[in-house]
A and B are shown apart, each in its own frame.
Chain A
Amino acid sequence: MKGLFKLAYKLLVNDKAKFTALLVGITFAVFLIIQMTAMFAGTMKRASATVLNLGASMWVMDPAVQTVANTIGMPDYVLDAVRSMHGVSYAVPVYTGGALVKLADGAYQSVTVVGLDDTSLFGRPQLIQGKIEDIYGENAFIVVKDPEFPKLGDPHVGTEFQVNDHRGVIVGIAEVASSGLFGVPTLYTTYERALQYLPNPRFTISYVLVEPKSPADVIRIKQQTQAMGYLALTKGEFIDRITNFYIYQTGMGTNLLIMTVMSFIVGLSISGQTFYTFVLENLDKFGALKAIGAKSRELILMILFQTSFTALTGYGLGIGLCALLIRLARLRLPDYAAMITYWNLALGFVVVVIIAAISSYFGVRKVLRIEPFDIFRG
């Protein structure tokens, strides 16, 4: 069987023009699909950055909250109520909000401020400079070193600035798993200081971060929270909620679907048509092979091998091209929001398999219909 596949391989790759056209079609389709979905995945990761960075197992919030950015303050009793629930190991408040920083050169820069529970500092970032206990110092802030960091003038420990007209000083530089979606730097401080520095409404708790005693307690905590009129979500559920918001309520999902379908059609048109032409041009040869003694099953295997080989090569090239583009884009735009996930790869693979299957189908049908007698008759 190896010889038969080698024969199929040589027939395919030695027709350089067609093979190139086939590869271009599939590579282009894969590139478009992976690029689109990678941008989507990158954007979604950024949109869920706070959820990922704080790392809490469960989040309690107002039921109207759709994304981590549009917080709706909850009264303090919610924190107490959650802490008293069965199955809660511990619960802490967190505050997130926007502020305006005035830099030493007089320039203004929007920032996101995360206020961590004063007692536990739960959800604190990994420090790469400074000491975490310095966060309790006067006017202390920790700045996240992410692609937005230079927007604060590349601060260092000891850099002073104004936050909403209050003095602020950098006491530490930290790193986090993901930077935010909105292109602004992130400052961490204590919950109480965040309340002092940031204009706040009547209710101040953005989220209550909860650690259940056991996974079995998750459902119980959800039920008890719901009874209070609030919503408790696991980390994964909250990320899904944010993703669903962007997919279904911003038009991003529709755009993604349209682009994916268009990529599929482009890939299928180029590859399908080219492969069909390839089969048509070689139809007399396939007929000759049949006459010589090739079984229909063997001809089908040859065609499937040819389409599979082209599809997998195009798939690899498409992924490589996409990875290269993301890499190049990041040289210029360090916070370029695109990431290739297994989900992207799986989707691209499924599309490629469908393109290969449809292309094969028409080729196989044609080859099975050719009669050796037609070849004999000329």
Chain B
Amino acid sequence: MPDPAIRATGVVKWFGEGDARTQALRGVNVDAYFGEMLYIVGPSGSGKTTLLSVLSGILRPDSGSVSVEGSEIWKLGGDKLAEFRLHKIGFVFQDFHLFNRLTTAENVAIPLILKRKPWKEALVEAAKYLDVVGLKGRAELPPVKLSGGEQQRVAIARAIAGQPDILIMDEPTASLDGDPGQGIVGFVKQHVLNEKRCILIVTHDDRISQFATRILKMEDGVLTGAVKGGSE
């Protein structure tokens, strides 16, 4: 087996206090590899999004370790962790979280601007990524003028503009109806996934399972096994 892109070992996460204290992750172990599209599926409240947040460096676990490309991420301080996310992780949020006051190209350019690219240069580069997701002619429009599927593509373009090694997609089909949702995931597999990139998707949409390299099932804070592909 090659070295994993992400390796999580014994990850535990609690929420709340007192009687309301609940354990969201109960010692999760998982490896994700470059070149694979790994789905984490399971019912609502099973801990999928919590796991994704811990793996991507936005939610600190109570115990356990997460290493990305061999480096333990939760040993990093606040700024270093932000830099890690900026350079290594691309996010596609469930609700997209696009800036309607900016143009589509400016939205896509955000990771580049955070990486201190000059404004004009960032916009030129952003236009290339919009071209990749098939929205070349929409660069100057605000996201609000685009359809749901197009907004999803803008979010994907923004996520890959920073050339991350790991792409995180949270419920990519939840805000889209039917075919567009499946089309987006198929598009990502075809155009975004490559040997140097790992894509993690949280979903409970069975219709897109055909695109997964591996599917892991999560229940009550633990990974219960592989639905598709190898073991966890």
Chain B residues within an 8 Å CB radius of A289: 110, 114
CB-CB contacts below 8 Å: B160-191 with A: 162, 170
B-facing mask of A261-301, CB < 8 A → 1, else 0?
00000000000000000000000110111111111111000
* Cβ contact within 8 Å between B97 and A285: yes
Task: Output the nearest chain A residue to B89 by Cβ-Cβ distance.
Answer: A293
CA distance A378 to B89 in the complex (A): 19
29 A-B interface contacts by CB (under 8 A):
A1-B116, A2-B118, A3-B117, A3-B118, A3-B119, A4-B114, A6-B119, A7-B102, A284-B95, A284-B97, A285-B97, A288-B91, A288-B93, A289-B114, A291-B93, A293-B86, A293-B89, A295-B79, A295-B82, A295-B83, A372-B53, A372-B59, A373-B53, A375-B93, A375-B97, A376-B52, A376-B53, A376-B59, A376-B91
Task: Output the nearest chain A residue to B112 by Cβ-Cβ distance.
Answer: A3
Task: Output the nearest chain A residue to B95 by Cβ-Cβ distance.
Answer: A378
CB-CB contacts below 8 Å: B70-123 with A: 78-79, 82-87, 89, 91, 93-95, 97, 99, 101-102, 106, 110-111, 113-114, 116-119, 122
Residues of B within 8 A of A (CB): 49, 52-53, 58-59, 78-79, 82-87, 89, 91, 93-95, 97, 99, 101-102, 106, 110-111, 113-114, 116-119, 122, 158, 162, 170
Q: Which residue from A1, A10, A284 sits with its C-beta under 8 Å from B106?
A: A10
Task: Output the nearest chain B residue to A287 by Cβ-Cβ distance.
Answer: B97
| A2-B119, A288-B97 given; A10·B102 CB < 8 A | yes
Does more than half of chain B's interface fall in helix, strand or loop, or is it mixed? helix
Chain A residues within an 8 Å CB radius of B111: 292-293
Tell me how far the C-beta of A3 lies from the nearest C-beta in chain B, rounded to whole angstroms.
4
Residue A202 interfacial (CB < 8 Å)? no
Task: Output the nearest chain A residue to B170 by Cβ-Cβ distance.
Answer: A376
Residues of A in contact, count (CB < 8 Å): 31
CA distance A291 to B84 in the complex (A): 11
CB-CB contacts below 8 Å: A1-31 with B: 1-4, 6-7, 10-11, 14-15
CA distance A332 to B161 in the complex (A): 62
* B53, B111, B116, B158 interface centre (most CB from chain A within 10 Å): B53
Chain A residues within an 8 Å CB radius of B82: 290, 293-296
* Cβ contact within 8 Å between B110 and A15: no
* Cβ contact within 8 Å between B93 and A10: no
10 closest Cβ contacts across the A-B interface?
A293-B86, A288-B97, A14-B101, A3-B113, A372-B58, A293-B85, A373-B59, A295-B82, A3-B119, A373-B53
